Amino acid sequence: MKPLTSLQNYPETVQNNFLIAEDNPIDIEVVKSLLHEAYSGQFCLDSAGSLCDTKRMLAAKSYDALILDMNLSGHHCDVGIIEIIESYPEIPIVILTGETDPVVAIESLKVGAQDFLTKNSITPQVLARSLRYAQERKKIELALRNSVASIADRNAQLNSLAHTDHLTQLANRAHFETALEELVYKAQRSKLRFALLYIDLKNFKKVNDNFGHSIGDELLVQVANRLRKTVRSSDFLARVGGDEFVIFTDFLQSSTEIHKLLDRLTKVFEPVFLIESKEILAHPSIGVAFYPEAENVEILLKQADYAMYEGKELQGDNISVCFYTKEMENKYDRQLQLEAQLATAIEENEFSAHFQKVTSLKTDQALVFEALIRWDSKVLGSVSPAEFIPIFENSPVIDQLTKIVISQAKSLIVELSKHDKCVESIKINVAASQLCRSNFSEFFLDLLHQQDIQAETICIELTESQMVKNTQACWLQIERLRNAGIKVALDDFGTGFSSLQHLLEFSVDYLKLDISIIRDINKKSRNQALVAGIIEMGHRLDMQIVAEGVETQQEFDCCEQLQCDMIQGYFLHKPQPITEIVSSQSDFIK
């Protein structure tokens, strides 16, 4: 590089405004003379005789560079540099030293100076070049520092995005899982306990379906805000997906401490949520599990999840709090086991239909059956419908089961026709999850068409509890099926879900009295009075009454005396496969 000899060697942007921190007047004059020659007199040089004066002058005026004596007023240079940089990080610094050992001066570079000069070897060109280099190095240093700071800011933003739920601004699942792992580690070392709460909003899907996802999103935001105000600052709150939130507490001395938090949580959900002038109830199911009863993160999460689902199942739409028990684990492990076998069961044709004859008290010639799905698993053995139907009714597999039942209903009709027997009606159970689908009626009627079954031969059965959950959607599908000729039976009538209003709203052909009011009806006068009233009401509404679960002669006689229209139960006929029904031993086809 060519030596700089005059101002013309610098860009016009350089102002050549310098400050020298030097307590030796002779040295100041030497530097001034050198600058005068280097810049042809086009410069400004102020001087400060102490570190204090230096900082004062830097505060009062802007300089292009600082020329700093290594041993200003007895201060070690490193100290001076550090103090100046802390207050004025953008000033370039050139160290002026009288020492011949460059190692000492190099130390000054390590603490923040940009260059150094030895007093006995300075020339105008060397001084100008050193000042210029110092300014350029400071620019590069500041640019690098800003770049690093910008990268750090971006990394912080990315880290925040990676650990924050974008909708609610709560911690997300990834952040939650990391924090939970850390807390378990601390709890293991300290031998302390804490609680994990798993929160799920009941019927959140209905909010999205009825009002739209924007309303659903706003509901989640408001729920998050209420939860944020309810938990303690030492507790950890996160949204882990959908309408699911989790809280793990700070360390507890006793499990009973959790009740105060649970009281606050249940109360905070009591008021309705107001969203776009709509009042929305959002009741949670809260599952609670404790560490160290659960020995690791995976088990703790599973236990809290089990408890949450148990609360949803037991308490309906109400606010529910449920603590984990071993019985829950056995129950839900069994469900997982059933679900794991599902695909294989379909492929291996493990499902079949049995048919139970329903006896008409008006004409014993009528052949009426209820189709009942059965599962004979190669792995699990015979699985009760009470176990697998509740699990599968919210799964797409429920349609596969319906296909199997309709196909085998056709087989029953064909086989009995060979014995000159005409099936009057076959009752087929459908789930609420099917009826609330807008295309279910078309799906069901298409299955009947494929099997060449007359719609008038089929009666669909559904429980009132199913209809209550999706009243409007169910009603639309039921009406379409009825218009096609299919009849409708309301199953399990007389249980806690019964409502006279539903009988006025829905067109129903059969009321099936629940087994709970038929059991030992001959011994219970109140049950008899209730059944008599239902029968009278049903007949006035042009419905036929079916007593199901009849298992004794006495129950049969009592139902007959009360004028039930049909009887169903093990006393008369058990569910049978088609082969047994059509065999010569079957008394009702002889």
| pLDDT one-digit tens code per residue, 202-256 | 888 888 888 888 999 999 999 999 999 999 989 999 999 889 999 999 999 888 8
CA distance 111 to 18: 21
Q: Write the burial class of residue 306 (CB in 10 Å: 0-12 exposed, 13-18 middle, 19+ buried).
A: buried
Instruction: Return the CATH class of domain 7-145.
Output: alpha beta
Residue 3: is its pLDDT beyond 50? no
Give the closest residue to 294 by CA, choosing from 199, 196, 198: 196
Burial of 441 (0-12, 13-18, 19+ CB in 10 A): buried
Contact between residue 514 and residue 492 where contact means Cβ atoms under 8 Å apart: yes
Check: CB of residue 577 under 8 Å from CB of residue 404: no
Residue 315, pLDDT > 80, answer no
pLDDT score for 364: 66
Domain with CATH 3.40.50.2300 in the chain: 7-145
**Average pLDDT, rounded, for the chain:** 86
Question: What is the rounded CA–CA span in Å between residue 352 and residue 349?
Answer: 8
Question: Which residue type sits at 323?
Answer: F
For β-strands 487-493 and 458-463, DSSP reports them as: parallel
pLDDT of 108 > 90? The answer is no
pLDDT one-digit tens code per residue, 154-172: 776 666 667 788 899 999 9
Rounded distance between C-alpha atoms, residue 516 and residue 494, angstroms = 8
Task: Tell which residue, 93, 85, 104, has the closest CA to residue 21.
Answer: 93
- Could you tell me where in the chain the CATH 3.30.70.270 domains are found? 173-324
DSSP H or E segment with residue 562 = none
Task: Kindly provide the residue ranges of all beta strands, DSSP E only, lying in 330-483, ordered along the sequence.
Answer: 351-360, 367-377, 381-383, 423-429, 458-463
- The DSSP letter of residue 289 is E
pLDDT at position 67 over 80: yes
pLDDT at 196: 95
Phi, psi of 171 (to 5 degrees): -60, 145
**pLDDT at residue 356, as a whole number:** 95
CATH superfamily of 173-324: Reverse transcriptase/Diguanylate cyclase domain (3.30.70.270)
User: For the whole model, what pTM was predicted?
Assistant: 0.59
> Can you give the pLDDT at residue 2?
37
Q: Which of 402, 401, 542 is nearest to 458 (CA)?
A: 402
Region(s) of the chain under CATH 3.20.20.450: 345-589
Residue 496 has pLDDT above 60, yes or no: no
Class of domain 345-589: alpha beta
pLDDT category at 199 given cuts 50, 70, 90 is: very high
3-state SS, residue 501: helix
Of 152-156, 403-407, 450-454, 465-469, least confident by mean pLDDT is: 465-469
Cα gap 23→86, rounded to integer Å: 22
**Range list of H helices, 231-363:** 258-268, 297-314, 326-347
27-48 tens-digit pLDDT? 899 999 999 988 888 999 999 9
364-378: per-residue pLDDT in tens? 677 999 999 999 999
Please give the Cα distance from 376 to 500 (Å, whole number): 39
Residue 143: pLDDT band (50, 70, 90) is confident
Mean pLDDT, rounded, for 99-108: 69
